[in-house]
Amino acid sequence: MKKILYTLPLILIVTFLLLEVMQTDERSGTVKVGENYFDVFVAETSQERERGLSGREGLGDKDGMFFVFEKEGIYPFWMKDMHFSIDIIWIDKNKKVVGVLEKVSPDSFPKKFKSDIPVKYVLEIEEGRAEDKEIKEGDTVTIIRK
């Protein structure tokens, strides 16, 4: 019994430390669009971009996924394995919003969505936030990394 009492706290500490490492492994930062701040998960690698928000259960009203591409281009997005609707914001290399697509539903899969204008960044936020926050084409974007 004493062995269990000594082992249990050690197991809890190790578990806590592993959870902390797993959470901080995902790159994060803050993106400001106009006057609105979003805490974002940053997707910079092809694997991170491909996975995107797939499998997640939702986002908070100030959260998002921020996609960073090596070069400006036309990048299609789809709703594969998504469980909730989102707004998609396309951002050019000058950090200006060049397109906003609202209320993209998981039911739209396998349809792909893209900007007609080359982009370097894409921000995905909770459905309805673009309208609520009055995000529009021409808004300036500031990228703040943690």
Inside any domain, residue 89: yes
Per-residue model confidence as pLDDT tens digits over 47-56: 888 888 888 8
Domain CATH number, residue 101 = 2.60.120.1140
Inside any domain, residue 129: yes
Residue with tokens 């971009």: 49
Inside any domain, residue 7: no
Query: What is the tally of structural domains in the chain?
Result: 1
Residue 76 domain boundaries: 27-145
Q: pTM above the 0.85 mark?
A: no
Phi, psi of 9 (to 5 degrees): -60, -35
Inside any domain, residue 10: no
Instruction: Decide which of 110 and 12 is more confident.
Output: 110
Q: For the chain, what is the mean pLDDT? A: 85
DSSP-based three-state secondary structure for 12:
helix
Parallel/antiparallel/unpaired status of strands 36-43 and 63-73:
parallel
Phi, psi of 92 (to 5 degrees): -85, 180
Between CA 63 and CA 75 the distance in angstroms is 22
Inside any domain, residue 3: no
Q: Are 84 and 123 in contact (CB under 8 A)?
A: no
Inside any domain, residue 65: yes
Inside any domain, residue 22: no
Q: Are 106 and 79 in contact (CB under 8 A)?
A: yes
Q: What percent of the chain has pLDDT over 90?
A: 66
Inside any domain, residue 4: no
Residue 73 has pLDDT above 70, yes or no: yes
